[in-house]
Each structure stands twice: as C-alpha cells, then as structure tokens.
Structure 1
Amino acid sequence: MKVIVLGGNGTMGARVVRLLEIAGHEVVAASRSTGIDAYTGAGLADSFAGADAVVDCLNIVSMKAGACVDFYETTARNVIRAAEDARVAHLVCVSILNARNSEINRRMGYYRGKAAQEARYQNARIPTTIVRTTQWFELAETLINQMRIGPLAVMPRMMSQPVAADAVARLIVSVVELGVEAPAGVELAGPQPRDLAKLARKVAHNNAVVHNGGPHPRVIAIPVPGIKVLNGGLLPGVGVAKDPTLFEEWLANGRTA
C-alpha cells in the first residue's frame, strides 16, 4: 500500500510514518521541506499519484481562530481536491475530540480550526475517516515551551484526559490498513482525567532529573476564563475507547508507549 503522510516530520506524522514503514508499506513523508505544501497545494498532485491513502497530520501552532480556520480549511480543501483528481481510495484526518462542540470552539481558536477541517473532510467524495483523540501527553512539554517566561512557565489549569501519541499513531495505522472498510470516525482517550498544569510540573521535574539537576522552569498554574465549560468539553464522552498507558509510565519509559 502506498500512503502519503502530510506533516510527516511532525509529532504525530513521524510516528505514523515509522509504523507504516515497519509494517512494510510504501510511505511518503510529505512536508514543506520535501517540496510538498498543502497550504499552497504545491507538490500535492505529483505526490498523490498512485497513492492508496492520504493521512492528514498537519498542524499549526496558533491559538488564533482566524489563523487556524484559514489554515485547516485551506489545507483540507487542497488535499481533498488533489486526492479526488488522483483517485486516492481513502483519506484519514487526525483531529481532536469535541472539536465541533460549539461551547468549546467559540472559546478556543484551535478547536474552531479543527472543526472547520472536519467539516471539509466530511463533505469529501472520497471515503474518509476522522481520528479524534484527546490531547497527547506530549502537550505538557509543548505548553512549557510555549508558556515559558524566563524561569517561569505559566500554565492553564484545566482537566483533560490525555493519551500517549504512540497509542494514537497505532490507531491511525490500523485505520489506514482497514482502508475503505474503516468507519467514518474513531475516537481514543487516555486512561484518566488529569490536570494539565500538574502534568507539566511532572515533565519539568523529570527534565531536571534527566539533566542532573539542571535548571528547569517553575510551573505556575492559573485559572482560565470559562474553565468550567472547558473542563467538561476537554474530557471524552461515554463510550470513547481508552488507551491504558498512564502518564507516569510514559514519562518513566522515555516518553514512549
């Protein structure tokens, strides 16, 4: 099977590429560094030729609704058009759980962008599977880097039910291998609700231990406006599958699961 992985060098894309290659598939890790730009459409037609599946692992680092909606709508539109022209059999889009919850996405620009992306893919003429998951464990360290101000990292205090990115990658690969027999949507969450700020503290402490007591930011937790609504929206609903890997296990095992 020939599979194109958009965002193939990113946190999720790189994992999906590795697992697909291990399984013996022909994989193209597509990114701007390889001349393939889903936002402009450059390189999509050539890379999609002969492909059986396309996996959209694209990401934008922004919290602004306008930027996120523009990026995800534009890339999805270009990907769908190129896939239809190339007669790709199956599309897989990686999204976030509850992105289309209006109470959440009107407060969080990133979620609004993912909602726009999902809407585009759900109107594609090609069989499409949307893989929705809760935040990944890796988000804790990402937030530390994004929120760091000198020796401090100011973190939002909110409940989520994060999951290991490796577990998500395995789910994506299973969906790809099912092909057109895959369901229109699959969901995955972590094993238990956790406070993201507390997880960030654990990551910061672990980094200091790994680097023999080297400097690490002090994580300061702050409340978020509308947090009660956000907390409910960031947690999975009843019936969502759960990966059993605990955050502490993931951290102790070198951040793999």
Structure 2
Amino acid sequence: MLSIIGVDQMGDYGYYAAKLAQEKTVAAEAPGPRILRAAQFLQFPGQMLDWNRDGDAVNLPVMKTQPVAVDEIAHLLLALADGSEQRERLGLAGPAAEDLADLVGQVAAHRGIDVTINTTVQSQAMADGACLPGPGAVIAGPDFATWLSDQD
C-alpha cells in the first residue's frame, strides 16, 4: 500500500486522516501487509501551484517536504510486492528537504509565471517537518532542482 510520510502525525488533517484509516484497515485485514510511506511526488509543487492559484497569488500551507520521483516509488512498491524488499513498513523520500513555498516558486519561475506566494500554518505537524523522512528511510532519486531542470 502506498501511504504518506508523517500520516500518523497529522491528526484530523483531511486527506492524511483518510490515508491513516486506510493504513489501519490494510494492516488489520490484508494478508502480509506492506506499507510504503512516501514523500510527496516531485510533481506536487506544480500541482499545488495549479490548485491554489488565485490570479497572481498562490495560497499554500507551510510545509517541509523531501519530494521523490514517482519511478522510485514504483520501484519500491514492486520490491515490496515481489518480496525482494522484506520490511513491512518503510519510508521513501528524495535527497533534499525543502520548503513547499520555495518549490512552488521554482515551478512558477520555470513556467514564466509571476505570482505572490502566501503561506499559512494549516497543520503544525506539517510545518514542523512531519512530512520529512525518519531514520531508516530509503533516500533515492534526483533532487527537485535537477528534476525541474529536465522538465519541458
């Protein structure tokens, strides 16, 4: 099962609460459950720009993240499924911790869009780094700047 790093630290914070409930169901009901908690995808800052743009402003939560390539997630999910990865639960993140607002700003600049980025603390856990990997997490793939430079 694919889940999210820090999902157990978010309390009732929207989608994270639903993912935690899904994790608990899988752990209780699935035979031999394996759970991958991944950081946000490298595409996430672009999505946040698109979803939260209001004219020339973008309103975002304060969030620390360590985005990871989707193909790294796919490889590790396959390893969990075929048994070549034996851990029942593990984390996966890219190589560098970043602030979401900075990443969204990089995407906007890459696209040639001039926006003002506004941030508010919507989840203290998220602002404090709950979405960053813990000890023992797999660190893989390109950093955000490298990935972004390869985008059209």
Report the TM-score when normalising by structure 2. 0.87
Structure 1 residues 132-164: Cα deviation after superposition (integer angstroms, max 9, x where no partner): 111112110111111011222222232122212
Structure 1 residues 14-53: Cα deviation after superposition (integer angstroms, max 9, x where no partner): xxxxxxxxxxxxxxxxxxxxxxxxxxxxxxxxxxxxxxxx
Structure 1 residues 50-103: Cα deviation after superposition (integer angstroms, max 9, x where no partner): xxxxxxxxxxxxxxxxxxxxxxxxxxxxxxxxxxxxxxxxxxx110012122xx
Any stretches of 5+ residues in structure 1 without a counterpart?
Answer: 1-92, 209-215
Identity of aligned residues (%): 29
Inter-CA distance 240–152: structure 2 relative to 1 (3 Å threshold): same
Structure with the bigger RCO (C-alpha within 8 Å, sep 6+) is: 2
Structure 1 residues 168-212: Cα deviation after superposition (integer angstroms, max 9, x where no partner): 122112222327x7432222112121010110111111122xxxx
Counterpart of 1:202? 106
Task: Tell me which amino acid in the other structure corresponds to 1:188.
Answer: L
In structure 2, how many angstroms separate the alpha carbons of the residues matched to 1:221 and 1:194?
Answer: 16
> How much has 1:226 moved relative to structure 2?
4.9
Any stretches of 5+ residues in structure 2 without a counterpart?
Answer: none
Indicate which of 92, 105, 113 corresponds to 2:11. 105
Aligned-pair Cα RMSD in Å? 2.0
Task: Tell me which amino acid in the other structure corresponds to 1:152.
Answer: A
In structure 2, how many angstroms separate the alpha carbons of the residues matched to 1:155 and 1:219?
Answer: 11
The 8 Å contact of residues 72 and 141 in structure 2, kept in 1 or not, is answered as: no
Structure 1: which 4+ aligned runs deviate by more than 3 Å? none
Computing the radius of gyration from Cα coordinates, the structure with the larger value is 1
Task: Tell me which amino acid in the other structure corresponds to 1:112.
Answer: A
Inter-CA distance 217–147: structure 2 relative to 1 (3 Å threshold): farther
The 8 Å contact of residues 134 and 234 in structure 1, kept in 2 or not, is answered as: yes
The 8 Å contact of residues 160 and 234 in structure 1, kept in 2 or not, is answered as: yes
User: What pairs with 1:1-257 in structure 2 (closer than 5 Å)?
Assistant: 93-101=1-9, 104-106=10-12, 108-178=13-83, 182-208=86-112, 216-227=113-124, 229-230=125-126, 231-254=128-151
The 8 Å contact of residues 57 and 118 in structure 2, kept in 1 or not, is answered as: no
> How much has 1:125 moved relative to structure 2?
4.3
In structure 1, how many angstroms separate the alpha carbons of the residues matched to 2:101 and 2:92?
Answer: 21
In structure 1, how many angstroms separate the alpha carbons of the residues matched to 2:108 and 2:55?
Answer: 14
The 8 Å contact of residues 69 and 141 in structure 2, kept in 1 or not, is answered as: no
Task: Tell me which amino acid in the other structure corresponds to 2:37.
Answer: R
The alignment partner of 1:233 has SS state of coil
The 8 Å contact of residues 91 and 136 in structure 2, kept in 1 or not, is answered as: no
Inter-CA distance 168–149: structure 2 relative to 1 (3 Å threshold): same
The 8 Å contact of residues 157 and 221 in structure 1, kept in 2 or not, is answered as: no
In structure 1, how many angstroms separate the alpha carbons of the residues matched to 2:90 and 2:5?
Answer: 10
In structure 2, how many angstroms separate the alpha carbons of the residues matched to 1:225 and 1:125?
Answer: 33
Task: Tell me which amino acid in the other structure corresponds to 1:206.
Answer: H
Length, aligned pairs only:
151
